[in-house]
Structure 1
Amino acid sequence: MAKLKLLAIIWMVLVAMLAGVLYTPMPEGLEDPFGATVFMAGYKVAMSFPLVVREFLGQGRFLDNLEAIQDPILGEGDRSPITSWFGGLNVTRATIEGVPVIVYKHWDADDDKLRPGLIYFHGGGWTLASADTYDWTVYELALATGAVAINVNYRNAPQHPFPAAFDDVVSVTRHILRHGKQFGIDVSRVGVAGDSAGGNLAAATALHLSKKFPDLPALKYQALLCSFIQGLTFHLPSHIDNAETLPSLYTKTVTAFTSLYLGLGGRNGEFHGSMFLENRHVSPEFRTKSKFAKYVDVQNLPEKYRTAKNAAPTAKESHNETVFQRIKSVLVDPRFSPLMADDLTNLPAAIVVVQKYDVLRDDGLLYAKRLRDSGVETVLHEGKGFHDDQMKILPDLLRSKTGLKAFKNVCEFILRKTKSN
């Protein structure tokens, strides 16, 4: 009996310790703290713990470990996608223009009825995740919108830095716009969508095809969810105030991903990540006085978000001119920073999803304003949630109300833009 009591006590202590580790304090004003707590616990188990443990054991620093955990996340092999067992859709692997994809077709998509097309680009900071990581999310999007969905497994950094991911997603999108009928897709009703880094790729693709390939059928929409839109500054109010609010995405993680995507990884990965975090990757003159400065002016944000409540990270040194000259042209390249494009007119209709407690909130707000000012039909969904809130990685019963709202609004927007005339 004594041994059983001891085991019970040990078990309760371990459970209490695990609960303490998995618990994340929620910011005041979050719409659904319980849903956010469940999400963050799952996120810590899947993502944060492997990084922390590896770093604690001396097996590498933050950026090194981001690279190290790619293989188990990306290694889908030849197995069937998990959702192929769900029913409701025919889910198969394919290759388009040399890029692996997962295709989600409705059972009647092989007859003469052509359906809308939805091309999805996954998040993960251009560095982590894969089409398989987003299998459930894209499956649900295909079901809800009635579209034939293409889930693109583009190449990841640091092995394949910019513009590899962009080139992959553009190649796939161009192929679908030219040959979509082969997949049961009506090429006059195709749109692009993505979250985080995938939202960046979706915005850049919509912009690029609109300006460079007017001979192709025009995209009907772009769905940009909690997206990275610019890399000129990492001191917007949302970068500062939400820097370490919730572990789904910290500002230091954004800057780490950015440095890897721009080919600045390797042994100096931590150095470059901190440089971006302190805004030392750009000269102060260029950031504040060039023609691009107006695009990141906080006066373009809603008044309630124009002033950061916290102080920005203090730069330990002056800007690094060598790095700045190396990446200067990319920072203002619309393929990387869609917000830096001189002309945003005549782009496909957009839904821009932002969440109050997301470090990328202000990127989305700035882009939505510029799109509207350029005459582009733009729906802004402003939630009181966090980064990744809209992802389908849990049963609806355990998902946050904020995420469910965002997902529902995105699907309704896509349905409106792709309905048959």
Structure 2
Amino acid sequence: MPLDPLAKRLLTMMAAAAPPSRIRPTIEERRQSLAKLMQFARTEANVAATDGTLPGPGGPIAYRLYAPAVDEGETAPGFVFFHGGGMVAGSIETHDRVAAALAEATGCRLVSVEYRLAPEHKFPAAIEDAIAATEFVAKNAASLGIDAARLIVGGDSAGATLAAVVCQYALDNAAPDILAQCLICPVLDFEETSPSREAFAEDPLIDQATLEADLADYLPEGTDPADARISPLRASRVKGLPAAIIHTAEFDPVRDEGNAYASKLLAAGVIVEHTCHDGMVHNFHAMGAILPQAKLVLMQIGEQVRRIAER
């Protein structure tokens, strides 16, 4: 299917706003660029939000809890959410609207996590925070109004990397208990260059130069990118992982690795609901001001999570 006309318009706008040279952006420029992009996530959600902190290995971790309307005293499924940004950008603020929309669509009490970013905090700091946050939510579910037996872990882009790693950690350690994982445009493989990474290497939203720069800022020198904590697709053990909801986009550089992970999990007997969205681009789910498909995919995710949580 051809590139969606509205998605093409978005890419044209992004290309026009990009600097004329391919010089590697500074960390501050990378963070400002993502913050501007996330302003297209114009969506309203009827949820209450409260901020808090939880203990982490590097100090307190900030989080934002989104609570959809439920009957007083009733617990809801929980959703631990990790924002995207290549492990170097993004925050609970940049992804506030997306997180709120996911909470409303899924009916979950959603905990959006402010994990540590590189290059100030290199690998595995973000992973350590993600694991700590998930364990905290699992252990303190009752006080958060969450049903511990219905815990979902998810994220978008690099946040989906963290979600996949947390689920693999939980499998290897038999805890915490995770019902399902929700991976949106996940970044899952830095070991090999896939056809989609080659085809869309100049993508204005997430080009190969940015992916490589983010990885260089994230990893200490000498770290093997084939490590499953960096490239979850390379994990040797996936049988027994939580049910997976995976959404990829046809015109996304990381499309193939997301599709391959869905196939790998299915082959291992994991329950998988996977959609590759025709004509769409990376991060399309957060572009509601331009792309009608953003609202549709959030509604679809909501239906999928509710169905799994009600089993």
- What's the secondary structure of 2:170's corresponding residue? helix
2:48 corresponding residue in structure 1 = 90
Deviating above 6 A after TM superposition, structure 1's stretches of 4 or more consecutive aligned residues are: 71-74
The CA RMSD measured in Å over matched residues stands at: 2.4
1:386 corresponding residue in structure 2 = 281
- What's the secondary structure of 1:232's corresponding residue? coil
- What's the secondary structure of 2:111's corresponding residue? strand
Match of 1:102 among 64, 70, 80: 64
Q: Shift in Å at residue 193 of structure 1?
A: 1.1
1:327 corresponding residue in structure 2 = 223
- For structure 2, list consecutive stretches of 5 or more residues without a partner in the other structure: 36-40
Matched, 1:250 2:211: no
Letter matched to residue 138 of structure 2: L
Q: Name the one with the larger strand percent.
A: 2
Instruction: For 1:414 and 1:181, locate their aligned partners in 2 and report how far apart those are by CA, in whole Å.
Output: 20
Residues 399-410 of structure 1: pairs in structure 2 closer than 5 A: 399-401=291-293, 403-410=294-301
Q: TM-score, normalised by structure 2?
A: 0.88
2:134 corresponding residue in structure 1 = 173
Residues 137-176 of structure 1: pairs in structure 2 closer than 5 A: 137-176=98-137
Q: Shift in Å at residue 107 of structure 1?
A: 4.5
Match of 1:112 among 73, 77, 88: 73
Match of 1:225 among 163, 184, 203: 184
- For structure 1, list consecutive stretches of 5 or more residues without a partner in the other structure: 1-27, 75-82, 265-325
Residues 249-398 of structure 1: pairs in structure 2 closer than 5 A: 249-263=206-220, 326-328=222-224, 331-384=225-278, 385-391=280-286, 393-395=287-289, 398=290
Matched, 1:34 2:33: no
2:307 corresponding residue in structure 1 = 416
For residues 74-113 of structure 1, the C-alpha deviation after alignment (integer angstroms, 9 at most, x for no partner) is 8xxxxxxxx9xx672221111112211111113547x320
Check 1:90–1:400 CA distance in 2 against 1; reply closer, same or farther (3 A cut): closer
Q: Shift in Å at residue 365 of structure 1?
A: 1.4
Structure with the greater relative contact order (CA < 8 A, sep ≥ 6): 1 or 2? 2
Asked which structure has the greater CA Rg, the reply is 1
Match of 1:185 among 146, 170, 174: 146
For residues 19-64 of structure 1, the C-alpha deviation after alignment (integer angstroms, 9 at most, x for no partner) is xxxxxxxxx711x3125424763x568xx54xx28x79xxxx414x
Check 1:95–1:259 CA distance in 2 against 1; reply closer, same or farther (3 A cut): same
- What's the secondary structure of 2:77's corresponding residue? strand
Check 1:219–1:127 CA distance in 2 against 1; reply closer, same or farther (3 A cut): same
Q: Shift in Å at residue 133 of structure 1?
A: 0.4
Q: Name the one with the larger helix percent.
A: 1
Among the aligned pairs, what percent are the same residue? Answer: 27
Q: Shift in Å at residue 257 of structure 1?
A: 0.9
Q: How many residues align?
A: 299
2:38 corresponding residue in structure 1 = none
